[in-house]
């Protein structure tokens, strides 16, 4: 099991300096994770820092609230792709999803998918603000709009990824749509439990802790199993 290639190393906190971004990219490169997920203004820095490492550069659109206009999300996505972003994590319009405005939500996502020109698009539902019925609707609209992942959270809401949400999202979308867990994935046990439930990518800041724990378990220092997790927030 290649745990590193399930991790999107998250560098999204607003207080991070340019040096912090470069250090985070160094961690991502050395640990050979799937990607870094950086703020839009940091895409060029990450592209330069990760050149030749095989680590993808991800970034965000409509972040963190999802309430910018579709035209703004489209323009942002086009700029980010031109800057070298490989993956786009967009926030859908949470309020319009709660309204049940399926046309708006679908078209908002579809426009970003088109603007991404084939790059991976992950759609953040921000589940902490949604009922189960709204989560199901958001997942279905994401798939219909042509995106590649459904994602639980931004990491900036009152709650993050939960086991119940991963199970619900995995059961709702087709097998070719992947599920990303973000928000509160701070331990290997949490990651493994959510992976067993169907998540294939994880947004994490505790990347080194998780990977060091996994390496220790591979050496036989403790079993590579997930203990039941109560909360992932």
User: Across the strands, what pairs with 149?
Assistant: 122, 178
Residues whose CB is less than 8 angstroms from the CB of residue 131 and which lie 6 or more positions away in sequence, other chains included: none
The sign one gets for the Cα dihedral 34, 53, 208, 233 is: negative
Assigned token pair, 225 = 């199993």
Question: Which of 87, 101, 90 has the alpha carbon at shortest distance from 141?
Answer: 101
Structural contact between residues 58 and 78, judged by C-beta atoms closer than 8 angstroms: no
- CA pair distance 223, 62, nearest whole angstrom: 40
- CA pair distance 41, 138, nearest whole angstrom: 28
**In Å, what is the CA distance from 21 to each residue of 45, 79, 85, 87, 223?**
8, 19, 15, 17, 33
Assigned token pair, 33 = 């994770």
Q: Which residues are catalytic?
A: 89, 151, 180
């Amino acid at each position: 099991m290649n745990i590193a290639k399930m991790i999107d190393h998250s560098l999204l906190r607003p207080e991070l300096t340019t040096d912090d971004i470069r250090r985070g990219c160094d961690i991502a490169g050395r640990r050979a994770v799937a990607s870094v997920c950086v703020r839009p203004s940091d895409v060029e820095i990450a592209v330069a820092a990760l050149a030749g490492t095989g680590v993808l550069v991800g970034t965000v659109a409509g972040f963190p609230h999802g309430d910018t206009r579709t035209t703004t999300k489209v323009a942002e996505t086009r700029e980010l792709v031109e800057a070298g972003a490989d993956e786009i994590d967009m926030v859908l319009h949470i309020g319009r999803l709660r309204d049940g405005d399926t046309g708006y939500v679908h078209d908002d996502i579809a426009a970003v998918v088109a603007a991404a020109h084939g790059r991976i698009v992950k759609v953040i539902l921000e589940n902490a603000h949604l009922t189960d019925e709204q989560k199901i609707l958001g997942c279905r609209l994401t798939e219909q709009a042509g995106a590649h992942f459904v994602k639980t959270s931004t990491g900036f809401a009152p709650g993050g990824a939960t086991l119940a949400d991963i199970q619900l999202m995995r059961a709702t979308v087709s097998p070719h749509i992947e599920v990303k867990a973000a928000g509160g994935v701070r331990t290997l046990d949490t990651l493994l439990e959510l992976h067993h439930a169907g998540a294939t990518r994880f947004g994490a800041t505790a990347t080194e802790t998780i990977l060091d724990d996994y390496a220790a378990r591979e050496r036989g220092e403790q079993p590579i199993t997930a203990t039941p997790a109560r909360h992932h927030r």
